[in-house]
A and B are shown apart, each in its own frame.
Chain A
Amino acid sequence: MRIVAATLLSLCAVALTACMEPTEPLARAEARWSQCTPCHGADGHGLLNQAAPPIAGLPVWYLEGQLTKYRTGLRGSHFDDGPGLRMKPMAQTLPTEDDVKNMAAFVAAMPAPPHSDATISGYGPNAASTFGLCVACHGADGGGNPAMNAPPIAGQADWYVYEQLRKFKAGIRGGNPKDITGGQMRAIALGLGNDAALHDLARYVADLPVKRPH
């Protein structure tokens, strides 16, 4: 009888242990990171075939802000935002704001990726002047400026930069009136010209030396 009781107690203890999450903040985030890897890759360098961008090494404030936007539906709620619609429910699995902070800190601490493979072949002569529109917020080197809520964009994957410019311009991203910082970027994107100009700018930005983080 004692053996049976001891065995049952041991099994209960093992089951409870398996259900418990770590309490140390970064360990909690690391335990959840496996949810992100199918799309963003184990190294956080992104997967083009999943339309999931490189996120490793981005600044904590930006990651926390975007996770919060996804979690509250400010981003990833538009009918035409396929990848965003995929990201939103995943962000909503983070149960608390502390978990958002922990995940942002964990991803920010990962080594930033080198330049991604180019998917856009070169850029035209006007790309540098178009980039001038970005400098006020993102900096002359594209390194970002937290005071302007502008993330680093230098060295970001060209396909991702293009897609975001296109979405900002179409109101797919930044179209929600409650998304103040997204709305700021949308206003700029509206003045960026045609689709070819967006491609040129995306390639130009991707070619800039990687600057991380603030």
Chain B
Amino acid sequence: MIESFVPQASSFAAEIDNLILLVTVITMAWFVAAQAIFFGFIFKFREKPGQRAMHIDGYKPEHKRWITYPHNAVLVFDVIVLVFAVKAWNHVKIDQPTPNTTVQVIGQRWAWTFVHAGNDNAVGTPDDIKTADELHVKVGDIVRFEGTSRDTLHSFSVPAFRLKQDIIPGRVNSGWFQPTVAGTYTIQCTEICGIGHGVMAARIVVDTAESYATWMAANAPSGT
């Protein structure tokens, strides 16, 4: 359902969408049930000829159970949501799979810059490819990112990947993703960082193996 609005372009995008859908369905079901009972009781116990509107204080067990039973049921559903949420959290944030490549993601007011590993597949070496506003990755690769900030708090977000990671100044904020669909997707900042926050955007290009090799060759620093 959500993918009809924003494509699912990473290995964990569907899991995040399913979690959002689960929470939405549960809360909507409870909302509809609560409103139906609420208005049903208002209608049933309204004042009418031969019956005064009742004031129910909730002390009698047969009245109180309309609160306690749903309350307990909500707790059960909370646990269900929690189980799926922790499972997703562990998969996306805690368990970092062995990466095929590493990129450095640098946030600053109000732009993103990137350092790609060159042919030696390591960042911090002379053959690194440095870009502004555009990150290139290969479809299917497990990509580890190391996010740093040149100034203030930012958040590295790729909606099509269902990825969001705060970039806190003074530390390396790492994570991973695995793009599954070739194409160009939006990178945005999702942490208010100043007057230009709303225009702090970049692109992530998910290349095929061939187009990634072509891009690497075309952008390799001279002399490497």
Write the residues of chain A forming the contact surface with B, with a CB cutoff of 8 angstroms. Answer: 35, 38, 77-82, 85-86, 88-90, 92-93
CB distance from A133 to the nearest CB of B (A): 27
Contact partners of B130 in chain A: CB under 8 A: 79-80
- Does B132 count as interface, using CB distance less than 8 angstroms? yes
Given contacts A82-B150, A89-B200, contact A38 B195 (CB under 8 A): yes
Instruction: Tell whether, in the assembled complex, residue A85 and residue B195 are in contact, meaning their CB atoms are under 8 Å apart.
Output: no
Write the residues of chain B forming the contact surface with A, with a CB cutoff of 8 angstroms. Answer: 108-111, 113, 130-133, 150, 194-196, 199-201
Given contacts A79-B113, A82-B150, contact A89 B132 (CB under 8 A): no
Q: Which of B110, B132, B195 contacts A77 (CB 8 A)?
A: B132
Given contacts A77-B132, A77-B133, A85-B113, contact A93 B108 (CB under 8 A): no
Q: Which of A38, A85, A88 contacts B194 (CB 8 A)?
A: A38
Q: How far is the CA of A80 from the CA of B115 in the complex (A)?
A: 11
Q: How far is the CA of A82 from the CA of B196 in the complex (A)?
A: 14
Identify the 3 closest CB pairs spanning chains A and B, nearest first: A85-B111, A79-B130, A89-B199
Show 30 A/B contacts (Cβ-Cβ < 8 Å), sorted by A: A35-B195, A38-B195, A77-B132, A77-B133, A78-B132, A79-B113, A79-B130, A79-B132, A80-B130, A81-B132, A82-B108, A82-B150, A85-B110, A85-B111, A85-B113, A85-B132, A86-B109, A86-B110, A86-B196, A89-B110, A89-B111, A89-B199, A89-B200, A89-B201, A90-B110, A90-B195, A90-B196, A90-B199, A92-B199, A93-B196
Output the nearest chain B residue to A36 by Cβ-Cβ distance: B195
CB distance from B146 to the nearest CB of A (A): 16
Contact partners of A89 in chain B: CB under 8 A: 110-111, 196, 199-201
A-B contact count (CB 8 A): 38
Output the nearest chain B residue to A90 by Cβ-Cβ distance: B196
Instruction: Tell whether, in the assembled complex, residue A79 and residue B131 are in contact, meaning their CB atoms are under 8 Å apart.
Output: yes
CB distance from B213 to the nearest CB of A (A): 22
**Known contacts A80-B130, A86-B108, A89-B111; can you find 17 more A-B pairs with CB under 8 A?**
A35-B195, A38-B195, A77-B132, A79-B113, A79-B130, A79-B131, A82-B108, A82-B150, A85-B108, A85-B113, A85-B132, A86-B110, A86-B111, A86-B196, A89-B200, A90-B110, A92-B199
Output the nearest chain A residue to B112 by Cβ-Cβ distance: A85
CB distance from B167 to the nearest CB of A (A): 15
Output the nearest chain A residue to B113 by Cβ-Cβ distance: A79
Q: How far is the CA of A139 from the CA of B159 in the complex (A)?
A: 52
Instruction: Tell whether, in the assembled complex, residue B199 and residue A93 are in contact, meaning their CB atoms are under 8 Å apart.
Output: yes
Contact partners of A35 in chain B: CB under 8 A: 195
Q: How far is the CA of A93 from the CA of B194 in the complex (A)?
A: 14
Q: How far is the CA of A88 from the CA of B195 in the complex (A)?
A: 13
Contact partners of B150 in chain A: CB under 8 A: 82
Output the nearest chain B residue to A91 by Cβ-Cβ distance: B199
Q: How far is the CA of A93 from the CA of B130 in the complex (A)?
A: 25
Output the nearest chain A residue to B111 by Cβ-Cβ distance: A85
Contact partners of B109 in chain A: CB under 8 A: 86
Q: How far is the CA of A77 from the CA of B130 in the complex (A)?
A: 11
CB distance from A89 to the nearest CB of B (A): 4
Contact partners of A82 in chain B: CB under 8 A: 108, 150
Q: How far is the CA of A93 from the CA of B110 in the complex (A)?
A: 12
Output the nearest chain B residue to A93 by Cβ-Cβ distance: B199
Q: How far is the CA of A82 from the CA of B109 in the complex (A)?
A: 8
Contact partners of B113 in chain A: CB under 8 A: 79, 85
Q: How far is the CA of A88 from the CA of B109 in the complex (A)?
A: 11
Contact partners of A78 in chain B: CB under 8 A: 132
Q: How far is the CA of A86 from the CA of B111 in the complex (A)?
A: 6
Q: How far is the CA of A35 from the CA of B110 in the complex (A)?
A: 13
Q: How far is the CA of A78 from the CA of B133 in the complex (A)?
A: 9
